[in-house]
Structure 1
Amino acid sequence: MNRKEFFKDLGLLSAGICLGGTDSFAFSPRSDFEKRLVPVGRVLELEGYYVWCNSPIFDHEGKVHLFFSRWNSKKGMSGWINGSEIAHAVADKPEGPYEVKGTVLKPRQGYWDATTCHNPAIQYVDNKYCLFYMGNSNGKTNTKRIGMAISDSLYGPWERTDEPILLPGQEGEWDDHCTTNPAFVKYRDKYYLFYKSWNNKEYANQSGAIRANRKYGLAIADNLLGPYEKSKANPVIDFSKYGNNAQMEDAFVWLENRKFNMIARDMGYINHENGLLMHSRNGLKWSKPEVAYRATKFYFQQEQAPKHLKKYGRFERPQLLLRDGKPVYLFTTTQGGKYKTSSPFIFKII
C-alpha cells in the first residue's frame, strides 16, 4: 500500500464511512478499543502446521498459557474441519517466546469429536480450568457441536464430556445446522454460553463462497456442566436485517464496566477484513458494531499472497488476554508467515 492509499483508507474509517451501500452501513466508527491497539507481531510459527484459534490465559504465577488449534500443513487450509487438534504452549510473557507443551485434545474415534477438535476457548470458572471447544464426527460442518474439557491445572489432565453440551435446534429452526464458536462468561451465578449457527435450508438453497447466514444464539445454565437452555430471545445477534448477507463469527465475550462486551470477525457488515466490537447490558440486545480492528495491511506489510492462501490479509478468531477482567492483549490468527501457513498475531492494548 502506498502513502496516498493508506491515508485515504484511514480517512474513511475515521469519518465512519462504510462501503456497504445501504443506510444500515451509514456509520461504523473506529472504536476507542481499536485506537489502543499496538501491533506486536507473529508468535508460535510452527513448521509443518497451520496454527489457528489462539486462546490465552494467565496462570497464578503470571505465565501465559495459549491453547490453540493446529493441523498438518499437508492438509491445506481446509484441514481444520477434518484433522485439527488442540495443543498447549506456555510463555513467560504475552509476547513470547512460546514453548509447545503438547496436544491437549485430539479427535476420538467413535465420539462426537471423532474427526476434529477446534475453536478452543479457555476460562477459569469455579476454581476449575474449562476448555470449551468444537468437535465434529464426519469431517463436515453439519456435525459441529460444542463440548467442554475440565482440569484442576492448565497442565492437565483434562476430562472432557462424552457428549456435546449444546446441540443444534430442531429442523427448520435458525440453528438446526450445528453449534460452534463457543464464547462463555459467568454472570450473576448463571453460566452464559454464546454460540454460532445457521439454518440447513438456507445452506442448501444458497450458492457462493458464503452460504446461509451465520447468527449468534445464547444458552444459559444454572451449573457449569449444564443443561444449557437456549434463550427465547435467540438469535441474539442477527445481521441479516442489514442486507447483502451480512453476518459475523468468531465471537469473544467478556464482562467489563457492568456490561457484556463482544469482539468478533466481520463477514460483510462493513467488509470481510475488519473486526467488530459490540456491547450489551444483558447479553440479549446488542449495540450496533464499531470497528475493533482493521485489515492486516494497516499494521504490517507482507509479501504477495501465495496462491494456496485464500484468506490472506485479514485477522480471524480474535481472543483477548484478560488481567483482572480487563483486556491487555488481543490475540488473532492470520495466514502467511515464514512457513506460508498461518500463525497467531498479537496486539498490546495500551
Structure 2
Amino acid sequence: MHNLKLIIGFFLMHWVISAQDNLDFKKLVGKVDSSDFFLSPDYYTWCSSVVKGEDGKYYMFYSRWSHGNRTETDDPMNYIFNGFSGWCKYSEIACAVADRVDGPYKYVATVLKSKGTNDWDKFTFHNPQIRKFNNTYYLYYISNSYDSSLFENDDKKTKEWKQWLKYNCTQKIGVVKANHISDFINGKYTKPKVPLMQPDNVKTFEVTTNPTVIQGHDGRYYMMFKSRKPNVGNMTFWMAVSDAPDGKFTIVSDVFTNEDMACEDPCMWYDKKRKRYYAAVKYYSNSKKLVPQFGALALITSEDGVNWQGAKNPLISLRELKTQEGNIELAHLERPFVYTDDKGQPIALFAAASIKEPSKGGEHPTSEYNSFVVCFKLKSDKK
C-alpha cells in the first residue's frame, strides 16, 4: 500500500509540474523610454526578431520599407503602393546589431530584398523570425509574387484594393539558413528555390503568413502560422510539425477558428520549467473573450504544442507604452517577439508599434506617425 501511494504521489506531482500555467507576463513588462526604441527617419520599421551570435552580440532581423510616394521610375512593374501599405510589395529584411539584448541597435545590412526575378519570392520580404538550431541559423520569412488572374474586375472604386490583393494573396513562407550569423550579412546563406509552406487548397487557402518555429519537447520542430480556412471569417492559426527546421512540415491541427479568439502575429517558445508551450500574439477580435482590447498583446498556451487555449493569465500588454511621464496610447502594438534563455524563460519582449496611424501620416511621417520597434525590458520571473 505504501509503495502504491508513492507511485500515485509521483504521478500526481509529475502532472502538477507538467500542467503548470502560472506565467503572468504582464507583471514582467516594465516602463520604457526613448532608449528602448529602434527606428529610422526614412523607413517604416516592423517585425523584429533577435538572436545571440557566436561573437556574443545580439542581432535583430526586422522588416523595413521606405516612406513617401513612389514614381514610375522607382517602380515600373505593375502597380505602385505608397506609404505604409507599401509593405506588401517593397518590404525588405534588414539586420541591426547591439552589445546588449535591449540595445541600442544599429543597422548593419539589408539581408533579403526583391531582385526582380520571377521566383515565388519576387517581391516583399516580411515577417522575419531568426532561430538557431544545432549550431545553424534559420531565418524564416514571408514573401509574395504577383497573380494577374486574381480579381480581374478593375472597376475604378476597387482597383487599388484588388491590385493589392494580387500581391497579398500570393504570400508564402520561406527559410534561408547559414552556418554563421555573419553569413547573412555577407550574403553567404543557403536559399531554397521553393517555399517551406504554402496553401495546399485542401486545409489552408489564400495565404500562409506569420511563421514562428521552435524545437519542441520531443525534439521535433513545431511551426505555427496563419492561413485562411473556408467558411471562417477570421484567419486561423495552424500547427505543423517536421523532423528538421527546414524539412517538410505536416499540418497537425488548427487553432482558434472562432472569431472571438482571432489572433495573429504569433511568437512561440517552449518553457522547460513549466513544461508547456507559450505564444505571444496580437489579439484580433473586439469580443474581449481573450483580453479586454482589440490589438492588445495576449498569451496563449499548450501542453503538447498541438492543442491551444488562452493562458491562465492571458494579458501581456494593452495597446500602450508605460513611461515615467505616463501611459502613451498606441495605434498599433503587434508582431511580438519574446527572447528567452535556454530554459525558455522570457528575457525581453520586442514589438512593432506606432503612436498614430502610420497610413495617415502623409508623405513624410512625423515621429508620431512613424513606426518603430520597442524593446520591453522584462523583470525577473521568479515563479
Q: TM range, normalised to the smaller chain? A: 0.7 to 0.9
Alignment partners' CA distance in 2, 1:301 and 1:294: 17
Among 263, 270, 273, the alignment partner of 1:248 is: 263
CA separation in 1, counterparts of 2:24 and 2:214?
23
How far apart in 2 are the matches of 1:185 and 1:291? 22
Q: Structure 2 counterpart of 1:193, which letter?
A: M
Q: 1:274 to 1:213 in 2, by over 3 A?
A: same
Q: Does 1:338 align with 2:367?
A: yes
- Counterpart of 2:38 in 1: which secondary structure? coil
CA distance in 2, matches of 1:94, 1:189: 26
Contact persistence 2:38–2:104 (CA under 8 A): yes
CA contact (8 A) 2:172 2:197 kept: yes
Tell me the distance in 2 between the aligned counterparts of 1:146 and 1:330: 23
Shift of residue 331 of structure 1?
Answer: 0.3
RMSD across aligned C-alpha pairs, in angstroms? Answer: 2.4
- Whether contact under 8 Å (2:197, 2:208) holds in the other structure is yes
Q: What TM-score do the two structures reach when normalised by structure 2?
A: 0.72
Whole-angstrom distance in 2 between the partners of 1:160 and 1:286: 32
Secondary structure of residue in 2 paired with 1:177: strand
Matches within 5 A, 1:1-350: 32-41=24-33, 42-74=36-68, 75-108=82-115, 109-138=117-146, 140-156=167-183, 157-170=188-201, 173=203, 175-187=204-216, 188-199=218-229, 212-231=233-252, 234-240=253-259, 242=260, 246-256=261-271, 257=273, 258-268=275-285, 269-270=287-288, 271-289=293-311, 290-296=314-320, 298-299=322-323, 312-324=330-342, 325-336=344-355, 338=367, 340-350=369-379
Distance 1:273 1:300 in 2: 23
Query: 1:84 offset after TM fit, Å?
Result: 0.3
Deviation for aligned residue 1:301: 7.1
Size of the aligned set, in residue pairs, is 298
Contact preservation (8 Å) 1:31, 1:277: no
Name the CA distance, whole Å, in 1 between partners of 2:331 and 2:23: 21
In 2, Cα distance between equivalents of 1:134 and 1:66: 17
Cα distance, 1:189 vs structure 2: 2.4
Over residues 180-220 of structure 1, what are the superposed CA-to-partner deviations in whole Å (9 max), with x where a residue is unaligned?
10011112221111110114666xxxxxxxxx311100111
TM-score by length of 1: 0.79
SS in 2 for 1:78: helix
Whole-Å Cα distance in 2 between the matches of residues 199 and 347 of structure 1?
A: 34
Per-residue displacement from partner, 1:315-344 (whole Å, max 9, x unpaired)? Answer: 110001222232111000101473732010
Instruction: Report the CA distance shift for 1:300/1:83 in structure 2 as closer, same or farther (over 3 A).
Output: farther
Counterpart of 1:16 in structure 2 is none
Measure how far apart 1:118 and its partner are: 0.2
Between the aligned residues of both structures, percent identity stands at: 28
Distance 2:66 2:168 in 1: 19
Are 1:31 and 1:292, in contact at CA under 8 Å, matched by a contact in 2? no
Letter matched to residue 101 of structure 2: P
- Report deviation, 1:273: 2.8
